[in-house]
Chain A
Amino acid sequence: MPTSTVVVGSVVGLHARPAAIIAAAVNETGEEVTMAIPGGDPVDAGSAMLIMALGAALGDPVEVSSPSQSAHDRIAALVTQDLSA
């Protein structure tokens, strides 16, 4: 399963707005995508609340995983962007 560890690019961390954008993108793909703090339990990346609950700050590593390569690539790229503006 495509998995990679990427670094959070949003200045405010994975807070309300970045989390909402990522969750919306996941739900748009229709694929299952999970996110985790390395070593922690993976959570459904289609839930903004679960993403927020990860408590990932700017520069923190986050593990993105999905059976779909394209969904994985899209969400991994989003996590590295600054979505807080």
Chain B
Amino acid sequence: MNDKYLQYEIEDFLTDDSFIAYAKNLDSSNVQYWKDILDEYPELKGIIEEAKRMVNSFQFEKNIPSDTQIDNIWGSIRQKTIENHNDTKLRNIYKIVISAAAAIILIFAITSIIDTGEKIMTARAETNSINLPDNSIVNLNVDSKITYKKATWKKKRLVKLSGEAFFKVQKGKIFVVETPKSFVEVLGTSFNVYDRDSSLDVKCFTGKVRVISKNMMDTILLTPGFAVFQTNGKKLKTYTFDTKEKSIWKDNILAFDNKSLKFVFAELERVFDIHIVAEKSILNRYFTGQIVLKSKRETLENVCWPMHLKYKIEGKTVYITK
């Protein structure tokens, strides 16, 4: 039935797609087909072996992208496609009309039922602990805000954050924290997110945390003890920290690793709801160390003493001098 193979030269086998699938062991139906041929025409054994070897000897120098490359490029694609997602949909006029009509009906008829999302804010010198619908916990630091939607929570665990918060997430569907500068994606873990002014900082305490920077399109996967920070929209940088050591605001500790006093004072202003006045030459100095948050006076003492600075408290304003 397949007499034609008796006339085959090596190159005829090698131009036959089903033969290559067989030689490379790609799919079972072709493998079976060629095994049957071999049973029927055992005299083909030699040439088929040679052809098979030739297929497998085409080994080229390879260019293999690294996992980071694959992830980074996906990060940029994702950023540009997820954000445009809604725009492209809106191009369709028909859909605009429908959604506008639906919106009007909703606004006038059932305003009370609309899920505008839960919004929780803390003022300066005020922290809060929030239980999310799935019992995940958010510890919200001073002067911060989160929003999330109760109605769609089961489908989408998305929390928008500005400021700083510590998350303890229940296992389940992907949990996303969106901040002005990043997406932080996790499955079930505990981590701290800080996004204020020009700084972003994410620390992973348990589980795995994926940080996607919005402007640099960087993605980094963090495991416990690893953290990432970014200043002024530069590349994400990782560093390590001790997860057992109490080192974050939640434990009433502020740890600074070579941070400007401007940055340190901004933190203190938020924690104690004060206003700190200091000249530029002071603000530009760098500070490394841990500050245990006690009373306003003690804390200021702990910062000023090692830096040889003096402070004077006048109501809500603190003057710091050399």
Does B bind A? no
